[in-house]
Amino acid sequence: MVIVMDSEATPDHIDGIVDVVTTAGGTAYVTRGVSRTIIGLVGDVQQFETLDLRAMPGVSDVLRISVPYKLVSRENHVSRSVVRVGGVPIGGEHMTLIAGPCAVETPEQTLAAARMARSAGAALLRGGAYKPRTSPYAFQGLGEAGLRILADVRAETGLPIVTEVVDAGDVELVAGYADMLQIGTRNMQNFALLQAAGEAGKPVMLKRGMSATIEEWLMAAEYIAQRGNLDIVLCERGIRTFEKATRNTLDLSAVPVAQQLSHLPVIVDPSHSGGKRDLVLPLSRAAIAVGADGIIVDVHPTPETALCDGPQALVGEDLAELADAVRTLPALVGRTLASAPEPAVAGV
Amino acid sequence: MVIVMDSEATPDHIDGIVDVVTTAGGTAYVTRGVSRTIIGLVGDVQQFETLDLRAMPGVSDVLRISVPYKLVSRENHVSRSVVRVGGVPIGGEHMTLIAGPCAVETPEQTLAAARMARSAGAALLRGGAYKPRTSPYAFQGLGEAGLRILADVRAETGLPIVTEVVDAGDVELVAGYADMLQIGTRNMQNFALLQAAGEAGKPVMLKRGMSATIEEWLMAAEYIAQRGNLDIVLCERGIRTFEKATRNTLDLSAVPVAQQLSHLPVIVDPSHSGGKRDLVLPLSRAAIAVGADGIIVDVHPTPETALCDGPQALVGEDLAELADAVRTLPALVGRTLASAPEPAVAGV
Amino acid sequence: MVIVMDSEATPDHIDGIVDVVTTAGGTAYVTRGVSRTIIGLVGDVQQFETLDLRAMPGVSDVLRISVPYKLVSRENHVSRSVVRVGGVPIGGEHMTLIAGPCAVETPEQTLAAARMARSAGAALLRGGAYKPRTSPYAFQGLGEAGLRILADVRAETGLPIVTEVVDAGDVELVAGYADMLQIGTRNMQNFALLQAAGEAGKPVMLKRGMSATIEEWLMAAEYIAQRGNLDIVLCERGIRTFEKATRNTLDLSAVPVAQQLSHLPVIVDPSHSGGKRDLVLPLSRAAIAVGADGIIVDVHPTPETALCDGPQALVGEDLAELADAVRTLPALVGRTLASAPEPAVAGV
Amino acid sequence: MVIVMDSEATPDHIDGIVDVVTTAGGTAYVTRGVSRTIIGLVGDVQQFETLDLRAMPGVSDVLRISVPYKLVSRENHVSRSVVRVGGVPIGGEHMTLIAGPCAVETPEQTLAAARMARSAGAALLRGGAYKPRTSPYAFQGLGEAGLRILADVRAETGLPIVTEVVDAGDVELVAGYADMLQIGTRNMQNFALLQAAGEAGKPVMLKRGMSATIEEWLMAAEYIAQRGNLDIVLCERGIRTFEKATRNTLDLSAVPVAQQLSHLPVIVDPSHSGGKRDLVLPLSRAAIAVGADGIIVDVHPTPETALCDGPQALVGEDLAELADAVRTLPALVGRTLASAPEPAVAGV
């Protein structure tokens, strides 16, 4: 931690800082520059943070040097993690395709989408039973009935399930059905939900908040990790910018940056940022090429009747092209496509 | 609702739209332009929204004409609302000052802050018992013990209480103590929380999400209103932009814009956007001058020891200047300062 | 300047930094922390900046401590400056109203707008003869003919002229007519134009780039100052954000922030950010209340026929309310309205 | 063009619109909805735009249906264009690598960088002689001496030259040396420069403004096209967002979006957005995979001594990996790497 004094700080101000830091068990190294004095602190940073040094007289700025997240940081955990979801790996040398419908609507639609997903190369099934919607008048999901449909489709196809949970009070219920809990962009800083997910005993996919910095995203992951769960997968899904030609701006730079800062796997959702089917395929290819540990894509047997985000769901020729991309591109960045588990019964 | 066809749309595409709209009980008016055809729809917009017209062949864009929120819109509720919190009005001809500590720390600190607030002109006391913090290592609030302190201070000073609730599961408990529930910026789209707050029987202050558009903010208010609670106060608190000289960019234009679109009162939090004490005073003055229905400001008897956001809490000379501003400025924009209720016992 | 080493930096890396800094005539103070080493540099910062220390092995980050602008900084120029434009002061205890048409269209329209401006309290006349327009198909201004109209209207009304210049090649011509050169938001980093304006011998109003940080804005001002011209007025006019309800988001926090960092006066343009007439008045009041040294507002005798930005030009009742605001509000923030010079001939 | 009336518009307001449109030679189709009336206009949109319909009584909004750029739009020019630069194609089935130093410093450094570029697969040489720098104290480029160095290196290596021009007054000079003029992000709306570049008789690479929407970018290209020059290549280089872990946020979605809207080739600069060497390679791969018509990358023989942007220049192993990527990835998206012309003399 470094304290920058303002240009009118007096020797008394500087002594004041040194005293406070020393009392807190740290050591303060004072460097007097031409126009400013800086003070380097050595010791327990979390202790220093409780001192509110920024409010002390003569202080212009306080610069944090070390990262504020510990458990998810790569600083103390150099090798990158592999998270296993129902036996399917995410991370390491793998590139994992997760696919399925935006929302679970009916058993038939979900099963059809799961089969499309599996034959396109998906190893995990996505599908929402609880949908956070901007408008209270939009379809909000089937709730537990949707979870039961997902479980049936998993039995039939062998694909483990990734599904969203939107309230701390629902975590136990959803974790009873899901192989991986998804926390959505609007809930990235719903701290009660993060903590509940950290205690649920299931891997968690944490979507980046639409206006969250990478640091805040890692801090949110730290909330989950702090409750004893390090099986966390980060998911970049587009950030909010001034550009309106796309629903959000997919920040692919965030993939290598987050992979450098954290040992957690980082995947990409190319469906929700573009909001249009014809962007999903190029962005999926770009996500694989940038080195993502996986991609999560909407597919739907009949997008024109979908209750949620139909315009971006893949089907037919587009899905065939995605299947081709996930089979050819990963090798060029040193990865192999993760395989789906076999179903218990011959369902596919 | 208006459908814009793309420049290569065929007559069949156009007929397809007309059929779908007609089947849904609406009427479609086709206008053929030089390069594009547009189709105006008349009928039940919510019904049209379920049709996913955007995914139909030949469609380039679907433009919504009416606002997507009904209950909070000014379109059907022309006069602006006054919300009463423990008898104190927000809205109408009033300018209401809400002040208090960022976090409840001790009975003494809370009482001292409440007395400072009251003598500066505040009619309502703010103070957090549940604090959503970016870092899991930061002070998270006293919980119910903090609520009890607030209730004691209310009894002593007469000031009704505004306090934050961060999880749907806590709403009933918090509503048992609070005069107004506050929903914070990170929870603006925590829909379970919005719905629970809508049923709690207390007024709600809804802070704008730090990357929420004004429309999304009003949609979030609509979630509360839909559960039967129209006692909602909107609070602008700064949005996330590229500028880093301030923690957030206070969007004062949002005040007149939201007042035009909605009948709900709109107040401003000038403390959290700037993040620095010396910005609070000019931004408070600007908020009153722009026509806000109130301002909510951090005060603390000893900011240098505050457990939360000390650097922005007002005290001493700054607070005296704020007291001066809230007494002189409202008259210039046709408002009067709302008065605090008297305490049951003579406490101040 | 402070160098933060990464957590795997070796003693050789640290020695390498110390050698380079010492060779460059500086002194390096090494502080070894628990997880990181930091090195404080004392000496000539501009010299250090040429060293590209960030690219040296073992370096994680380089933190600049002092501001990168010198001439416009308040650090070396504590009292705030007053800039005089044709005798009219901007800055100090004054609040200066600048008003006029967005674009000069005809002598009659310009004279009528100038008279409206003057009677509303304006001391300076704005009006564009060169208009930078997003579309090549929009009205681009009258050029020199427009400058001549402005000069005639100045003779008639006594109001000194503020007008935009958009290309370095036009600076001499425009400076021959104008009392103050305006550099627009799209040209804030047109460095050839900044340098030419710095040599033109006239005060310059520098609008903030629509995506410029306050630091970049001050750096752009430094380009002008470097050429010997310190008669610079900064103008906040709204920044680009995700919000689309307004054309831009007026960043009123930038006023006190820029006033703390720089000795230059800071004014506000409330007309162009909102883009709508009914936002101009509340934002003008807010700008005065926040402590701006002036405001610049569009007025037009017949907005419905204006060739540029008619929807935001004030007229009639709105203008009367503005006149009222500029006469009553400044006193509450310790300022007085700057007066217009008398015309040489009795023109108003 | 569609006019949305507000909910209180009277029949007189509607008739007023119809009259104005009819007088302007257009036809107005009125559709009365439940809460709003909309009016579809058929006729000359540019004529309608001069009417300032938005300011008319009863009008709530005016929605433009057709795109505001004509010459660069794909609507009237369905096949995508190939631009030739000194014989090297950009666009079509090609993927063109442009590489070289950020700034021309010496003949030796430029020649060494050009040879590195060529052996990595580059067909065009980039290098700046005029550098727009945020700080007036940073290296501003060698000017014409730099252009002469570039011309010598072209003679030696055969690589055509792409170089930046920053002021309309320099266009003729720079065009005398360059094979392609580059217009930088800060000058994207320097309209005098765009127009001069449009008349210079050389292809132009137009970088996206760091806060420009895709529509504004295409409007800027339209300024060049209007002067008779359609040899324009668009270059995405990162936009300004709230995220500070990278210098800018590379918007790869902009590539397919711009390719759908415009017939012009779209390339990507992965060096300047990340600002760090270890992001250049993954972002280059992503840019090729997303379908860019080319990439432009900084290389430098000795990045640690570079006068400009050394931390992001490729060298050694990183450059070898780039060379590998440009040789293997394009085939997977249906493209082939464009070849460099042979030098007139055997220079490489």
Q: To the nearest whole angstrom, how far is the Cα of C141 from the nearest Cα of chain A?
A: 28
In total, the C-beta contacts within 8 angstroms joining chain C to chain D are 99
The minimum CA-CA distance between B64 and chain D, rounded to whole Å, is 10
Predicted-assembly ipTM surpassing the 0.85 threshold: yes
Q: What is the full per-residue pLDDT of chain A (348 aa) written as tens digits?
A: 888 888 788 888 899 889 888 888 888 888 777 677 888 887 777 778 777 787 788 888 887 777 788 899 998 788 999 999 999 999 999 999 999 999 999 999 999 999 999 999 999 999 999 988 777 877 788 999 999 999 999 999 999 999 999 999 999 999 999 999 999 999 999 999 999 999 999 999 999 999 999 999 999 999 999 999 999 999 999 999 999 889 999 999 999 999 999 999 999 999 988 777 889 999 999 999 999 999 999 999 988 777 777 778 888 888 999 999 999 999 999 999 999 998 875 544
Q: What is the pLDDT of residues B110-151, one digit of tens each?
A: 999 999 999 999 999 999 999 887 778 777 889 999 999 999
pLDDT for the residue A51: 76
* pLDDT bracket for residue D69 (50, 70, 90): confident
Res C348: pLDDT = 44
Are A66 and C36 in contact (CB < 8 Å)?
Answer: yes
Q: Which residues in chain C are contacts of A32 at CB distance < 8 A?
A: 42
Q: What is the pLDDT of residue C75?
A: 80
| pLDDT score of B1 more than 90 | no
pLDDT of residue D127: 95
Nearest to C192 among D56, D138, D167 (CB): D167
> Lowest-pLDDT range, B7-11, B47-51, B334-338?
B47-51
- The pLDDT assigned to B348 comes to 44
Gap between the Cα atoms of C99 and C122, Å rounded: 6
- Give dist(CA C160, CA A279) in Å, integer: 53
Residue in A33, A40, A211 nearest the CB of C65: A33
Measured between beta carbons, which residues in chain B are less than 8 angstroms from residue A214?
Answer: none
Query: How many A×C Cβ pairs under 8 Å?
Result: 59
* Helices D107-120 and D144-157: angle between axes, nearest 10 degrees: 40
* Cα pseudo-dihedral A270, A274, A279, A284, rounded to 10: -10
Determine the pLDDT at residue B42: 79
Collect all residues from C whose CB is shorter than 8 A from any CB in D. Answer: 46, 49-50, 52, 54-56, 68-69, 132-138, 166-170, 186-187, 189-193, 210-211, 216, 219, 222-223, 226, 240, 303-307, 310-311
Q: What is the DSSP letter of D301?
A: S
A91-100, A332-341, D9-18, D55-64: range with lowest mean pLDDT: D55-64
Contact D65 B38 (CB under 8 A): yes
Partner-chain contact C34 A42, CB within 8 Å: yes
The answer to whether the beta carbons of residues A200 and A181 sit under 8 Å apart is: yes
pLDDT digits over D302-333, tens only?
A: 887 777 777 788 888 889 999 999 999 999 99
Per residue in B249-284, pLDDT (tens digit) is: 999 999 999 999 999 999 999 998 877 788 999 999
Greater confidence (B45 vs C218) lies with: C218
Rounded Cα gap, residues D165 and D184, in angstroms: 8
Averaged pLDDT, D126-137: 86
Return the pLDDT at C243.
Answer: 93
Closest Cβ–Cβ partner in A213, A282, A325 for D243: A213
What distance in Å separates the CA atoms of residue D178 and residue A224, rounded to the nearest whole number?
56
Q: What is the largest CA-CA distance in chain C?
A: 79
**Nearest chain A Cα to C249, which residue?**
A242
Q: Do B41 and D32 touch (CB under 8 A)?
A: no
Chains that touch A (3 or more CB pairs under 8 A): B, C, D
Give chain A positions within 8 Å (CB) of B304: 52, 55-56
Inform me whether the pLDDT recorded for D241 exceeds 90: yes
Q: pLDDT tens digit string along D152-161? A: 999 999 999 9
How many residues would you count in chain C? Answer: 348
Which other chains touch chain B, taking contact as 3+ CB pairs less than 8 Å apart? A, C, D
- Per-residue pLDDT for B13 more than 70? yes
Residue of D221, D298, D301, D294 lying closest to D263 (CA atoms) = D221
CB atoms within 10 A of CB C93: 12
Q: How far is CA A28 from the centre of its chain?
A: 38
- Res A348: pLDDT: 44
H-helix or E-strand spanning residue B161:
strand B161-164
Q: Do C135 and D222 touch (CB under 8 A)?
A: yes
The more confidently predicted of residues D42 and B236 is B236
Residue whose pair of structure tokens reads 């579809």 in the numeric block: D40
* pLDDT band, very low/low/confident/very high, at B85 (cuts 50, 70, 90): very high
CATH class of C83-337: alpha beta
Instruction: Tell me if domain C2-63 and domain C83-337 are identical in fold.
Output: no
Find the residue in A nearest to C4 (Cα). A65
Sequence-ordered list of residues with C-beta below 8 angstroms from that of C346, at least 6 positions apart, any chain: none
Write the CA distances from D322 to A335, C203, C342, D180, D285, integer angstroms. Answer: 18, 50, 68, 23, 8
Residue numbers in chain C where pLDDT is lower than 70:
34, 345-348
Do residue A289 and residue D249 have CB atoms under 8 angstroms apart? no
Are the beta carbons of D55 and C311 separated by less than 8 Å?
yes
Q: What value does the mean pLDDT take over residues D183-210? A: 96
Q: Which residue has the higher pLDDT, A245 or B52?
A: A245
Statement: residue D348 has pLDDT above 70 = no
- Strand ranges (DSSP E) for A150-272? 161-164, 180-183, 204-207, 232-236, 266-268
Report pLDDT digits (tens) over B20-41.
Answer: 888 888 888 887 776 778 888 8
Q: Scanning every residue of chain A, which has its alpha carbon at the shortest distance from the alpha carbon of D261?
A: A245
pLDDT, average across residues D100-120: 94
Name the closest residue on chain D to residue A215, using Cα atoms: D245
Which residues in chain C have Cβ-Cβ distances shorter than 8 Å to D211? 210-211, 240
Is C2-63 a CATH 3.30.70.1140 domain?
yes
Between chains, do C286 and B286 touch, taking CB under 8 Å as contact?
Answer: yes
For residue D95, the SS3 value is strand
Taking an 8 Å cut-off on Cβ atoms, the answer to whether B137 and A46 are in contact is yes
Contact D36 B66 (CB under 8 A): yes
Q: Which residues of A touch D255 (CB under 8 A)?
A: 282
Separation between Cα atoms, residue D65 and residue D46, nearest integer Å: 12
- Is pLDDT larger for residue D272 or for residue B335? B335
**pLDDT at residue C347 in the model:** 44
Bridging pattern class, strands D94-100 and D88-90? unpaired
Mutate to test the interface with C, among A2, A48, A65, A260 (most CBs of C within 10 A): A65
CA–CA gap between residue A54 and residue A61 (Å, rounded): 6
- Contact C328/B328, CB-based, under 8 Å? no
Name the residue in chain A with its Cα closest to that of D326.
A332
Percent of chain D residues past pLDDT 90, beyond the cut: 64
- C171/D14 Cα distance (integer angstroms): 46
Question: Which residues of chain A lie closer than 8 angstroms to D280, CB-CB?
Answer: none
pLDDT score of A345: 59
- The residue extents of the domains of chain D are 2-63, 83-337
pLDDT at B345: 59
b vs e for A71-89, b when ≥16 Cβ sit within 10 Å of the residue's Cβ?
A: bbbbbeeeebbebebbebb
Residues of D in contact with C305 (CB under 8 A): 52
CB contact under 8 A, A63 and C66: no
Q: Would the CB atoms of C285 and B245 count as touching at under 8 Å?
A: no
- The beta strand positions in A101-155, using DSSP E, are 124-126
Residues of B within 8 A of C242 (CB-CB) are: 211, 213, 239
Classify strands B2-5 and A161-164 as parallel, antiparallel or unpaired.
unpaired
Which residue, among C248, C252, C262, C281, would best test binding to B if mutated, counting the most B CBs under 10 Å from its CB? Answer: C252
Amino acid at C295: I
What value does the mean pLDDT take over residues B207-227? 95
CB A113, CB A106: distance < 8 Å: no
Distance, in Å, from the CA atom of D88 to the CA atom of D85, rounded to the nearest integer, reads 5
What is the structure's pLDDT at B219?
94
Interface touch A63/C63, C-beta < 8 Å: yes
Answer positive or negative: Cα dihedral of A37, A43, A46, A52: negative
Tell me whether residues A251 and D274 touch, CB distance under 8 A.
no
Those residues of chain D whose CB sits closer than 8 Å to some CB in chain C are 46, 49-50, 52, 54-56, 68, 132-138, 166-170, 186-187, 189-193, 210-211, 216, 219, 222-223, 226, 240, 303-307, 310-311
pLDDT, mean over chain D: 90
- The C-alpha of B339 sits at a distance from chain A's nearest C-alpha, in angstroms, of 32
Residue in C239, C251, C289 closest to B288 by CB: C289
> Residue C220: which H helix or E strand, with range?
helix C214-226
CB pair distance less than 8 Å for A2 and C2:
yes
Q: Which chains touch D (3+ CB pairs under 8 A)?
A: A, B, C
Other chains touching C, judged by 3 or more CB pairs under 8 Å: A, B, D
